[in-house]
Chains A and B, each alone.
Chain A
Amino acid sequence: MTALAPPAVSSAQTSRSAPAAGGHGRVWWMVLPALIMFAGFGIIPLLGVLGLSFTTWDTLGVIKPSGFDSWHQVLTDPGLPHALWVTFEIMALSWLFQTPVSILIGVFLAGNQRYREFLAVLYFIPLLLSAAAIAITYKALLDPNFGLGAGLGLGILQQNWLGESGLALATVVFVVSWQFIPFHSLIYQGAVRQIPVSMYEAAQLDGAGRVRQFFSITLPQIKYTIILSSTLMVVGSLTFFDLIFVLTEGGPSDATRSLALDMYKTGFQANLMGPACAIATILVVIGLLLALLLRRLGGRGDESQLEGA
């Protein structure tokens, strides 16, 4: 069991140093079941998205090649910039909201309060719920006539949260954050625990206050966690589908019609599979670009983090 203690990193060198004592050829087939499954329902569909974007298909008839028609249709449709903008807004706003709150809670949870354990248990619950259940709960909760606001007689809560464009977008961001802030604060909690206490002790002797310590030690030390968490947030937000679909169906008047939703509506509601695949291709490309960009950001000077520790 002890061998399992540091799972993610290290010990690769120790076990790697000796060349394997034969048997290379005898294990390769063990990857086959996983490879076949993933190729069949992951890689082929990925290529299929690109391929189908050059065809016409309405889910019932035959698939006919149609050149760049779908692309032309998608790229000249004003719906695309709008969906891109909505996606970007949701991404940026949820990052801006989730990151500071998650870091604050993470740092707090890393302390040794008695109730820390209790809080961590409750914080985790939203992660267990399905996006459909969360969206349905919030839809009822935010109902301007019969929801929480009306029940409490609080005018401030009694808004048409999902019925007005600006509010609906903010509500989506909030509900997404409701689901994921607990997750990110747990990641930050783990990261803060890794920071050596000696650094804080030394800083304290130098007379550095709480705030100073936070900005001079905590933040730089969890830099890579911030990048990891941001990558998950940003790339994840690109694919929010179920929550927005159930909560607003993209409305009111397309105010929350993100790219993933746009693809679904174009494909499965308007039966335009070719254009939907073009949108999906754009989604994949943006996702890969963002992942690469964030990796570039985090990739430089990986060693410096270890130096500090």
Chain B
Amino acid sequence: MTSVIAPEVGQSAQAEQGQGQPRRRRQPSGERKNWLGGAVGWIWLLIVVIPIYWIVVTSFKTRASYFITNPFLPGKPTLENYKFVIDADFASYFVNSVIVTLGATVPAVIFSFMAAYAIIRGTGGRFLGFTNSIFLLGLAVPLQAVVIPIFLIIIKLRLYDTLLAIILPSIAFAIPLSVLVLSNFIRDVPRELFESMRMDGASEWTMLWRLALPLTRPAIVTVSIYQGLTIWNNFLLPLILIQSPEQRPLPLALWNFQGQYGVNVPAIAASVVLTTLPIIVLYAIGRRQLLSGLTAGFGK
């Protein structure tokens, strides 16, 4: 790649500057448009939007009109599908999902934050190094591969068919990535701040909550959103650990619903929209935070 920047370019660059070409940061290639990328970008947008639009439009159709109307035109919108889904105990599935998501995300992030703090601040010590390697190894362990022993453990703990059965493994599998991200952020807190706080006689526990927490809040919010989303959408754990209908969280309820009302596509569409709506609302609120956090996490 270095061959592109030949040494003599330096001089000619100065000459070119005079031509009043503003140094536009994010348009690397100057005036030349990226037609191919643009075309693919817009086509992909259609591919993304069409199914979403279709499912929303369909959710407002009656069963009868679904079969005869143009799939893209709303026709005479009706709310009967939504009423149907909400009457089918939607609220209790929703509450189950909220309990599982909050019940797993909050402890997972708190535990990960404490662990990250210890790993960064507690230098030396073979134990902390070992713990860190365990978490790093954990990044490579897929949940899918270990569900059978989890199933066994949950049965042995007599937690089968309870929300706690989903919550406990969800906490565990949120930890490795959260520790990794949070420790990267805690590492960036200037050491001097910790030292001056220690001079004032603060304990590690105080420094954890009074110094590290406020300074890493953006990272904590991002990690919480990410893990919350993952846990909210999890399907496999409820599938194997939940039996009774009243304990189902939304994705499992959705799947069951689809099996039960397979032919009633508008009702299924309404249930997809309803289960997705809470996340879209949260996304609208926390979008900047989420995107900036994600790009920071992956930026090199």
Contact = CB atoms under 8 A, between A and B. Distances in A.
A242 interface: yes
A309 to B, nearest CB: 10
Contact of B118 (A31, A220, A264, A276): A31
- Interface of chain A, main secondary structure: helix
B235 A206 contact: no
A246 B213 CA distance: 40
B130 to A, nearest CB: 9
Interface stretch (A33-41, A74-82, A164-172): A33-41
A30 B149 contact: no
B90 to A, nearest CB: 14
Contact of B5 (A20, A123, A199): A199
A125 B134 contact: no
B49 A122 contact: yes
A48 interface: yes
Contact of B121 (A27, A122, A143, A151): A27
Interface in A50-86: 52, 59, 63
Q: How large is the interface on B (under 10, 10 to 19, 20 to 34, 35 or more residues)?
A: 35 or more
A105 B300 contact: no
A178 B134 contact: no
- The secondary structure that dominates the B interface is helix
Nearest to A112: B26
9 contacts: A31-B119, A41-B172, A41-B173, A48-B149, A63-B152, A108-B41, A128-B280, A140-B265, A199-B4
6 tightest Cβ-Cβ pairs between the two chains A and B: A108-B37, A48-B149, A151-B71, A41-B172, A45-B149, A130-B233
Interface of A: 1, 3-4, 6-9, 11-12, 15, 18-21, 23-31, 33-35, 37-46, 48-49, 52, 59, 63, 101, 104-105, 107-113, 119-126, 128-133, 136-141, 143, 146, 148, 151-152, 178, 181-182, 185-187, 190-195, 197-206, 208-210, 213, 216-218, 220-221, 224-225, 228, 235, 238-239, 241-242, 245-246, 260, 263-264, 267-268, 273, 276-277, 280-281, 283-284, 287-288, 291, 305, 307-308
Given A7-B296, A128-B229, 5 more contacts: A42-B138, A108-B40, A186-B294, A277-B148, A277-B149
